[in-house]
C-alpha cells in the first residue's frame, strides 16, 4: 500500500470516529460500508486529481493542527489564572505580516498545481472514440457518431431487474456504454430539457449537459472493468435515478459489441449534435 493510501486510510479512520466518513468504491463499483477515500483512479486525469487532492489534504490537515495548537496555547497562556493582568498590546507588525503573507503563499502554491491540472483536463486529445451524451428527464441518450452513426437510450434498471442481472441497485442500466481500454474517448454533452451533469468518479469526469450548448471532456480508461456514475446536477424529481454505467473492454470485445450495436440500434437512427465534420 502506498504512503498516499496509508494517509487516506488513517485520516478516513479519524473521520469515521467523528462520524464524518464518506463511502468510496474500489474499482468503480457501488459503495459499501466502511469504505474510505476516493475510488481508485483508472484514468490519467483522475490520477492527477487524486495527487492534487492529496496535496490539499496535507495542507488542510497541517493548517487545522497548527490552528488547534495556537488555540490551546492561547487558552493556557492567556487565561485569567495564568495572566491575571491582561496585556494591552494592540498590534504586532511581524505577526500581521506573517498571517497575511503565509496564506498568500499557500494559495499561490495551490494555484501553481491547480492550473496545469485544469488545462490538462480541458485540452481534449485527438479522440479514438467520440460519444455524444444527451441528458434527459430522466435518462441518458448516447450517440456514437464516428463509429457507425447509431444511438440508444440508457435507463436505470428496476430493483428486480438489477438483482436478476447482478447489477447494483440504483446504478445498473439497461444499455451501458462500451469503450475500448487505453483509448482516448471524447465526451460531448448537451441537455434536451434542463441542465444535467455526466459524472463518473473513477474517471475524474464531471461535465454539465446544458440545453443549447455543447461541452467537451475526455477520459482514457487504463483498466478493464465496469464503472458507475450518476447525474450530478439537480434536474428534477427523478434526478437520483439517472445512473451511468461504462464498460471498459478490450479492443476486440469493443469491435464485437460495436458490430452488434449497429444492428441492434440501426432503426433508431443517429442524432448528430456536433458540427458537421
**What is the per-residue pLDDT across 133-184, written as a single tens digit (0 to 9) for each?**
999 999 999 999 887 689 999 999 999 998 998 898 899 999 999 999 999 9
Separation in Å, CA 87 to CA 24, 82, 92, 97: 50, 12, 12, 21
Q: Would you tell me how many other CB atoms lie within 10 Å of the CB of residue 155?
A: 15
Q: Summarize the confidence of residues 230-250 as an average pLDDT.
A: 95
Greater confidence (12 vs 233) lies with: 233
3-state secondary structure of 192: coil
* For residue 248, pLDDT beyond 80: yes
Contact predicate 186/9, CB 8 Å: no
Cβ(244)–Cβ(125) under 8 Å?
no
pLDDT digits (tens, 9 = 90+) for 100-114: 999 999 999 999 999
Is the pLDDT higher at 78 or at 105? 105
Q: Where are the beta strands (DSSP E) in 201-264?
A: 205-209, 215-219, 225-231, 243-249
Burial 43-61 (b: 16+ CB within 10 A, else e): bbbbebbbeeebeeeeeee
Which helix (H) or strand (E) covers residue 167, if one does?
A: none
Highest mean pLDDT among 27-36, 37-46, 84-93, 230-239: 230-239
Bridge partners of residue 180, in order along the sequence: 249
Q: Of 211, 213, 215, 214, give the one whose Cα is nearest residue 192.
A: 211
Is it the case that residue 255 has pLDDT exceeding 70? yes
Amino acid at each position: 500500500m502506498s504512503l498516499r493510501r496509508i494517509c487516506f486510510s488513517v485520516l478516513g479512520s479519524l473521520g469515521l470516529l467523528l462520524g464524518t466518513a464518506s463511502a468510496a468504491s474500489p474499482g468503480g463499483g457501488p459503495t459499501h460500508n466502511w469504505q474510505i477515500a476516493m475510488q481508485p483512479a483508472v484514468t490519467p486525469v483522475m490520477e492527477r486529481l487524486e495527487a492534487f487532492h492529496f496535496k490539499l489534504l496535507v495542507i488542510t490537515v497541517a493548517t487545522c493542527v497548527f490552528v488547534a495548537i495556537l488555540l490551546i496555547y492561547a487558552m493556557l497562556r492567556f487565561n485569567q489564572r495564568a495572566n491575571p493582568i491582561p496585556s494591552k498590546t494592540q498590534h504586532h507588525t511581524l505577526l500581521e505580516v506573517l498571517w497575511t503573507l503565509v496564506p498568500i503563499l499557500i494559495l499561490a502554491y495551490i494555484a501553481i498545481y491547480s492550473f496545469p491540472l485544469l488545462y490538462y483536463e480541458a485540452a481534449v486529445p485527438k479522440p479514438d472514440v467520440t460519444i455524444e451524451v444527451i441528458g434527459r428527464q430522466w435518462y441518458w441518450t448516447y450517440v456514437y457518431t464516428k463509429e457507425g452513426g447509431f444511438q440508444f437510450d440508457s435507463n436505470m434498471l428496476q430493483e428486480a431487474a438489477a438483482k436478476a442481472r447482478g447489477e447494483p441497485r440504483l446504478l445498473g442500466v439497461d444499455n451501458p456504454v462500451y469503450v475500448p481500454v487505453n483509448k482516448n474517448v471524447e465526451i460531448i454533452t448537451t441537455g434536451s430539457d434542463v441542465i444535467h451533469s455526466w459524472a463518473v468518479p473513477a474517471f475524474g469526469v464531471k461535465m454539465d449537459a446544458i440545453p443549447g450548448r455543447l461541452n467537451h471532456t475526455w477520459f482514457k480508461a487504463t483498466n478493464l472493468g465496469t464503472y458507475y456514475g450518476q447525474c450530478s446536477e439537480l434536474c428534477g424529481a427523478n434526478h437520483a435515478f439517472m445512473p451511468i454505467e461504462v464498460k471498459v473492454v478490450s479492443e476486440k470485445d469493443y469491435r464485437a459489441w460495436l458490430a452488434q450495436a449497429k444492428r441492434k440500434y440501426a432503426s433508431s437512427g443517429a442524432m448528430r449534435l456536433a458540427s458537421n465534420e
